[in-house]
């Protein structure tokens, strides 16, 4: 990798307070980029900013709702004034909602029964409004930063964008309809933008993380004593590398896709970083 590629250039990372994108932001700063950290909660951004400053890097944390176009534009203006125009955009903001997830993995007659258990939520009981919240965050929350910072890139005639898709983009997980649907949309958006923005000198790609170890996934996939839940065992049975991903496992793929020299002819692709999950049927 050409480590001088990032030196003194501005990188914007959304969702920068999360486990994965905080590592991406710190790595970009290590490579010499001036990094803007965007996230809803400043308290989650501050430890990331502190780590970057401690290593001698330049960083600007900003509280921003990426689904609010005006807020993102205000952030862009601050970033351009304080750090310079955006050269690299990493769209890592996203997420899910517990009330947009089914409690069953397949249809059961009880979900359409008058005696449906209160804690049961099947497909027919999903609230479209809660599903829309997830879809909006993951799709519109990716699209708006692409519009706002992409315009700035287009004015300069160059730039690189990396969106965060998921292995759910290709293999929808049971229970996670809204999340899978929205992440499939991120792949499609990435392809569409790659073709549309090519004349502007902007490359658009994505990464699709598999099962990574973070605070949320540990609660779902691991037991209190460090073992695996039934769902965790099922995931591991479909993961040839027999482990969960760590944030550091993403850095090579993200930084390569951003590198305008090493990946100069690469646009419109989604790189799976999933330990082989997407290639294994488990049979």
182 contacts 139 by C-beta, under 8 angstroms: yes
| Among 218, 196, 206, residue whose Cα is nearest residue 254 | 206
- Positions marked catalytic: 179
In angstroms, the first-to-last Cα distance of the chain is: 37
Rg (CA), the chain: 19
CA distance 74 to 128: 31
The C-alpha angle 2, 36, 252, rounded to 5 degrees, equals 35
157 contacts 267 by C-beta, under 8 angstroms: no
DSSP label at 210?
Answer: -
281: its two tokens: 């049927």
- DSSP states of 14-49: ETTTSHHHHHHHHHHHHTT-EEEEEES-HHHHHHHH
The C-alpha angle 213, 217, 223, rounded to 5 degrees, equals 95
Beta strands in 66-156 (DSSP E): 86-91
């Amino acid at each position: 990798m050409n480590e001088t590629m990032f030196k003194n250039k501005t990188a914007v990372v959304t969702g920068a307070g999360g486990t994965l994108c905080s590592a991406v932001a710190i790595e970009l700063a290590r490579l010499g980029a001036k990094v803007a950290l965007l996230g809803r909660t400043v308290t989650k951004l501050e430890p990331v900013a502190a780590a970057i400053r401690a290593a001698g890097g330049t960083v600007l944390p900003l509280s921003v709702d990426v689904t609010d176009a005006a807020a993102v534009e205000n952030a862009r203006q601050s970033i351009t004034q304080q750090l310079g125009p955006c050269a690299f955009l990493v769209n890592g903001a996203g997420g899910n909602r517990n009330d947009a997830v089914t409690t069953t993995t397949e249809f059961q007659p009880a979900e359409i029964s008058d005696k449906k258990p209160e804690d049961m939520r099947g497909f027919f009981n999903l609230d479209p409004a809660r599903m829309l919240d997830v879809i909006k965050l993951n799709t519109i929350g990716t699209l708006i930063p692409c519009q706002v910072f992409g315009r700035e890139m287009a004015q300069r005639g160059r730039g690189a964008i990396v969106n965060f898709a998921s292995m759910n983009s290709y293999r929808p997980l049971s229970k996670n309809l809204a999340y899978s649907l929205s992440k499939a949309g991120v792949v499609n958006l990435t392809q569409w933008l790659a073709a549309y923005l090519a004349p502007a000198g902007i490359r658009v790609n994505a990464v699709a993380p598999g099962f990574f170890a973070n605070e949320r996934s540990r609660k779902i996939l691991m037991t209190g004593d460090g073992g695996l839940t039934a769902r965790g065992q099922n995931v591991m049975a479909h993961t040839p590398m027999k482990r969960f991903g760590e944030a550091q496992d993403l850095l090579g793929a993200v930084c390569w896709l951003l590198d305008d020299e090493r990946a100069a002819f690469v646009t419109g692709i989604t790189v799976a970083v999933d330990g082989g999950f997407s290639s294994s049927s488990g049979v």
